[in-house]
Structure 1
Amino acid sequence: MNLIGAWRRRQRERDLLYGPKVMLPGGPEQWIEDSLDWLVGRFGVEPMRRGPVLPSAFVPARYDGSEHAARELCLRVCAWMEVPDDRIRFSFRMEDVRAAGRSTAVRRLRAEHPELAGISGLQATMPAGDVDGLAAAGYAPEIAVLAERELIAEVKRSTELRDATDPERRAELYERAVAVWSAPAGSGSRAAWLDLRTGGHDGTAVLLSATTPADPSAVIAATAHELGHEVLWGYHLMDRNRPDAEAVTDLFAVFHGFGIFLANQAVERVPGRRRMRQSLGYLGERGASDALAAYCFRRHTLWPESLLPVLPAELDRAVRIRTFARLATLVKRAEIDSIQEGAPLR
Structure 2
Amino acid sequence: MLGWLFSPSCPCDSAAKAWIEERLEWLAGEFDDSAFSGRPVVLPTPEFFPDAYDGSKKTVRRLLDRVCEYMDVVPDLITLKFVADAGKIWLENEAGHYLPGAAGTYEESERKFIIRIDKSGLDDPMGLVGTIAHELAHVRLLGESRIMREVFDNEVLTDLAVVHFGLGIFLANTPRNWDSQYTKWPDTDLLKPEYLTPPMFGWALAHLAWFRGEEQPEWARHLNGNARANLKQGLRYLLTTRDSWYRPPSLRRGSR
Quickly name the TM-score band, shorter chain normalised.
0.7 to 0.9
Distance in 1 of aligned mates of 2:42 and 2:158: 17
Preserved CA contact (<8 Å) 1:290 1:326:
yes
Moved more, 237-246 or 87-96: 87-96
Change (3 A) 1:326 1:250: same
Residue 34, structure 1, aligned to residue 22, structure 2: yes
Q: Identity across aligned pairs (percent)?
A: 30
The one-character-per-residue Cα deviations of 1:290-331 (angstroms, maximum 9, x if unpaired) are 21111221222xxxxx33331232110111111011001011
Preserved CA contact (<8 Å) 1:190 1:278:
no
For 2:211, the equivalent position in structure 1 comes to 298
1:94, distance to aligned residue in structure 2 (A): 5.4
* Structure 2 unmatched runs, 5+: 1-10, 181-193
1:263, distance to aligned residue in structure 2 (A): 0.5
Distance in 2 of aligned mates of 1:72 and 1:277: 29
Amino acid at match of 1:28: A
1:40, distance to aligned residue in structure 2 (A): 0.6
Q: Counterparts of 1:52-71 in structure 2 under 5 Å? A: 52-56=41-45, 57-60=47-50, 62-71=52-61
**Which secondary structure state, in structure 2, belongs to the residue aligned with residue 91 of structure 1?**
strand
Preserved CA contact (<8 Å) 2:85 2:120:
no
Residue 289, structure 1, aligned to residue 202, structure 2: yes
TM-score (norm 1): 0.56
Residue 324, structure 1, aligned to residue 232, structure 2: yes
Q: Counterparts of 1:38-53 in structure 2 under 5 Å? A: 38-48=26-36, 49-53=38-42
Preserved CA contact (<8 Å) 2:84 2:118:
yes
**Which secondary structure state, in structure 1, belongs to the residue aligned with residue 74 of structure 2?**
coil
Q: Counterparts of 1:94-105 in structure 2 under 5 Å? A: 95=85
Distance in 2 of aligned mates of 1:73 and 1:317: 26
Corresponding residue to 2:117 among 208, 212, 221: 208
For 2:148, the equivalent position in structure 1 comes to 239
**Which secondary structure state, in structure 2, belongs to the residue aligned with residue 311 of structure 1?**
helix
Corresponding residue to 2:216 among 292, 295, 308: 308
1:77, distance to aligned residue in structure 2 (A): 0.4
Change (3 A) 1:263 1:319: same
Distance in 2 of aligned mates of 1:334 and 1:243: 28
Amino acid at match of 1:35: R
For 2:159, the equivalent position in structure 1 comes to 250
Q: Counterparts of 1:170-249 in structure 2 under 5 Å? A: 188-197=101-110, 202-249=111-158
* Higher radius of gyration, 1 or 2: 1
Residue 89, structure 1, aligned to residue 79, structure 2: yes
The one-character-per-residue Cα deviations of 1:111-166 (angstroms, maximum 9, x if unpaired) are xxxxxxxxxxxxxxxxxxxxxxxxxxxxxxxxxxxxxxxxxxxxxxxxxxxxxxxx
TM-score (norm 2): 0.74
1:58, distance to aligned residue in structure 2 (A): 2.7
For 2:187, the equivalent position in structure 1 comes to none
Preserved CA contact (<8 Å) 1:217 1:265:
no
1:226, distance to aligned residue in structure 2 (A): 0.6
Give the helix-richer structure, 1 or 2: 1
The CA RMSD measured in Å over matched residues stands at 3.4
Figure out how many residues of one structure are paired with residues of the other and give that number. Answer: 217
**Which secondary structure state, in structure 2, belongs to the residue aligned with residue 39 of structure 1?**
helix
Runs of 4 or more off by more than 6 Å in structure 1?
none
Amino acid at match of 1:329: Y
Preserved CA contact (<8 Å) 2:137 2:158:
yes
Change (3 A) 1:45 1:33: farther
* Structure 1 unmatched runs, 5+: 1-18, 100-174, 268-275, 301-305
